[in-house]
Amino acid sequence: MQTEKLKTNKKDKKLNGFSIEDIGDDHLHTGLETPMKADAFKLSDSEKKERIAILFEEIMDVMGLDLTDDSLQGTPKRVAKMYIDEIFSGLNPENKPKVALFDNKYQYNQMLVEKNITFYSNCEHHFVPIIGKAHVAYISSGKVIGLSKLNRIVQYYAKRPQVQERLTNQIANELKLILDTEDVAVIIDAKHLCVNQRGIKDVTSSTVTSEYGGVFKNKNTKQEFLDYIKLSTSFTE
């Protein structure tokens, strides 16, 4: 089987003076925006799935798997469909949630918190899962959005190769933009399988990141938000 060299020469790539080999398993990110090629959407979703299936079939073949086996022969297409339609669907701007703003007719001027938003993402360094919960809050500047849209915004930015720090900031910035306010807070607590399952193999640790804007930088407001997160919600007697 003919193999090609990687398109990027990793030994020549430098980040803050460090090579890829120097960085190793350190989870670095280079900016707020997800790194994308200029022609990222030149191919249609169907074309991407077809291409990914071919390439993943080659990976399986290199690993020595028998692609004629009934259990494996459909795997390349299943993986391609999962990548484009599901776990990495947040890469496509067409899948961005449509958010409608409403006047705050209730005159509710206190903090609104949506906590324990479960999400699944994938580490962009090893393409293994990140599983966590997001807690988001905002104080209306005159406009509000439907509660489910908060969940959908979290899911949209999670469904792509990610770094947790970037995910936290992307969610916060999107809410600030939509709601036209700096009074936004986001906390994410997540387990990284690239830490739990491989590398250091620490199965008990989790990673917490946060972003506080506007009044949430105030000590008392921040503490109020943290206290709400600690509340236990049970719907069973």
- DSSP-derived pairing of the beta strands 161-162 and 111-123: parallel
Residue 85 per-residue DSSP state = I
Q: Which two tokens stand for residue 117?
A: 């938003």
What confidence score (pLDDT) does residue 31 get?
79
181: nearest Cα among 111, 235, 230, 124 = 111
Catalytic residue among 27, 29, 58, 126: 126
Q: Please determine, looking at this structure, whether the domain spanning 102-230 carries the CATH number 3.30.1130.10.
A: yes
Q: How far is CA 218 from CA 174, 188, 213, 225, 226, in A?
A: 21, 19, 9, 11, 12
Domain borders along the chain are 38-87, 102-230
Q: Please determine, looking at this structure, whether the domain spanning 38-87 carries the CATH number 1.10.286.10.
A: yes
Question: Is 135 among the catalytic positions?
Answer: no
Question: Is 125 among the catalytic positions?
Answer: yes
Question: Is 124 among the catalytic positions?
Answer: yes
What confidence score (pLDDT) does residue 64 get?
98
Question: Is 58 among the catalytic positions?
Answer: no
Catalytic residue among 57, 123, 135, 162: 123
Backbone angles phi, psi at 148, to 5 degrees: -65, -25
For the chain, count helices (H), then strands (E).
7, 9
Catalytic residue among 57, 135, 174, 192: 192
Question: Is 123 among the catalytic positions?
Answer: yes
In tens digits, what is the pLDDT along the chain, a chain of 237 residues? Answer: 455 666 665 555 555 565 556 555 555 556 789 999 999 999 999 999 999 999 999 999 999 999 999 999 999 999 999 999 999 999 999 999 999 999 999 999 999 999 999 999 999 999 999 999 999 999 999 999 999 999 999 999 999 999 999 999 999 999 999 999 999 999 999 999 999 899 899 999 999 999 999 999 999 999 999 999 999 887 765
Determine which helix (DSSP H) or strand (DSSP E) holds 34, and give its type and residue range.
Answer: none
